């Protein structure tokens, strides 16, 4: 120092560069009556780039979690891979696991001013559902976590509501019955815009789940409890009583056919005609294509063989009886010779179940 204005000291973290060395230097005569200004770069770095503080992941020191929530990795031959705490100055911006190019080790004691106590109420499906804890953390890095004994119910509801916006299609039971209910309402929404049918597509329902589902989320803690919610009942009863009755009248679940059977309709969410898949023999004598929506919408008939294989698709049953039926009959007589295939389908009795020629 007597000859040069600059001195670089290289030593491991904790060796005393910022504690022991300055005191020893002050004892030299050339510094008599002077002061030493200590910048303590590690501590300065920790405070100025707090979001770039990283802590080694347990069991894999090469990987570190940053306080901003991201993850980064140092090469296994890099000395930094063995440091528990780092201040990262330069890393790539790739998605997922970033790569550390420049970083400095940190003393854990230097992080004390950055540690905050925080109550955390969140949902993590992979960890079993609702999590309510009191955490000591630096940003996203959790240093210690203890269960929260009496979490606020409204915050629990908010946590479930938020995860449903992202994962609701998997967490809730959107089975075929629910999908068909949605398609019925969405069809009426398209067919009858003047009647103000609600938008019940899945995305809209999940984004607005608090308005129709919140009463059923009390005491929900785990994913399987969400799956047990009767979504069809909840959605149907969210409609007012008049709308419930109108839905069943204009977009019925089933239609009766001449054989006496009630056949389920399959609705499309885009408002296309619903499909009535029925065995051909069950609609002998039916002159016109069935309609719904107060007679305004014809169904699309999928006429099936006795083995429930499609033989014809039509929205004009009268035309089918008058024309295509006779060609279809020839093929069905060949494939099902023991079944009745009348020459006059207009007057033939519809057949429910299996009735064969004697």
- pLDDT tens-digit readout, 126-173: 999 999 999 898 888 888 989 988 899 999 999 999 999 999 999 999
Judge whether residue 343 has pLDDT over 90: yes
Per-residue model confidence (pLDDT) at position 197? 97
Per-residue model confidence (pLDDT) at position 148? 87
- pLDDT tens-digit readout, 223-236: 999 999 999 999 99
Task: Report the interhelical angle of 241-250 vs 231-238 (nearest 10°).
Answer: 110
- pLDDT tens-digit readout, 251-294: 999 999 999 999 999 999 999 999 999 999 999 999 999 999 99
Average pLDDT for 323-352: 94
- pLDDT tens-digit readout, 51-100: 678 888 876 667 888 888 888 888 777 877 788 888 888 888 777 788 88
Task: Parse the chain into domains and list their residue ranges.
Answer: 1-38, 50-147, 169-250, 254-335
Could you give the CA distance from residue 292 to residue 29 in angstroms, rounded to a whole number? 103
Per-residue model confidence (pLDDT) at position 348? 94
In this structure, the strands spanning 116-124 and 129-138 are antiparallel
Helix (H) or strand (E) holding 137, with range, is: strand 129-138
Average pLDDT for 336-341: 92
Per-residue model confidence (pLDDT) at position 118? 86
Could you give the CA distance from residue 153 to residue 27 in angstroms, rounded to a whole number? 63
- pLDDT tens-digit readout, 191-244: 999 999 999 999 999 999 999 999 999 999 999 999 999 999 999 999 999 999
Could you give the CA distance from residue 78 to residue 80 in angstroms, rounded to a whole number? 5
Average pLDDT for 91-116: 83
Judge whether residue 308 has pLDDT over 90: yes
Could you give the CA distance from residue 208 to residue 200 in angstroms, rounded to a whole number? 10
Per-residue model confidence (pLDDT) at position 89? 82
Environment class of 25 (CB within 10 Å of its CB; exposed 0-12, middle 13-18, buried 19+): middle
Per-residue model confidence (pLDDT) at position 41? 57
Query: Which residues make Cβ contacts (< 8 Å) with residue 276, sequence separation at least 6?
Result: 255, 263, 265, 290, 299, 300, 301, 302
- Name the CA radius of gyration of the chain, rounded: 36
């Amino acid at each position: 120092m007597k000859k040069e204005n600059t001195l670089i000291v290289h030593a491991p973290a904790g060796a005393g560069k910022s504690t022991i060395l300055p005191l020893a230097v002050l004892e030299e005569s050339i510094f008599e009556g002077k002061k030493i200004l200590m910048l303590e770069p590690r501590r300065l770095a920790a405070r100025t780039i707090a979001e770039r503080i990283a802590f080694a992941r347990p069991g894999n020191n090469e990987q570190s979690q940053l306080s901003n929530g991201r993850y980064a990795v140092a090469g296994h031959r890099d000395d930094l891979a063995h440091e528990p705490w780092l201040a990262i100055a330069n890393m790539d911006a790739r998605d997922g696991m970033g790569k550390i190019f420049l970083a400095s080790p940190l003393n854990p004691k230097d992080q004390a001013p950055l540690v905050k106590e925080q109550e955390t109420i969140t949902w993590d499906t992979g960890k079993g559902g609702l999590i309510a804890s009191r955490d000591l953390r630096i940003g996203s890095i959790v240093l210690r976590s203890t269960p929260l004994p009496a979490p606020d119910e409204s915050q629990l509801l908010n946590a479930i509501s938020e995860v449903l916006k992202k994962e609701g299609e998997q967490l809730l039971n959107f089975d075929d019955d629910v999908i068909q209910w949605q398609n019925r309402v969405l069809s009426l929404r398209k067919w009858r815009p003047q009647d103000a049918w609600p938008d019940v597509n899945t995305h809209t329902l999940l984004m607005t789940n608090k308005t129709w589902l919140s009463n059923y989320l009390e005491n929900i803690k785990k994913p399987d409890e969400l799956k047990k919610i009767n979504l069809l009942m909840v959605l149907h009863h969210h409609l007012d009583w008049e709308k419930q009755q109108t839905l069943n009248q204009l977009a019925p679940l089933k239609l009766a056919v001449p054989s006496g059977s009630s056949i389920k309709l399959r609705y499309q969410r885009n408002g296309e005609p619903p499909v009535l898949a029925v065995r051909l023999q069950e609609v002998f004598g039916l002159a016109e294509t069935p309609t719904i929506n107060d007679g305004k919408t014809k169904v699309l008939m999928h006429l099936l063989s006795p083995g429930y294989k499609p033989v014809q698709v039509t929205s004009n049953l009268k035309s089918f009886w008058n024309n295509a039926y006779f060609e279809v009959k020839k093929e069905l007589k060949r494939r099902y010779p023991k079944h009745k295939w009348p020459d006059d389908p207009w007057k033939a009795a519809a057949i429910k179940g299996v009735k064969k020629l004697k």
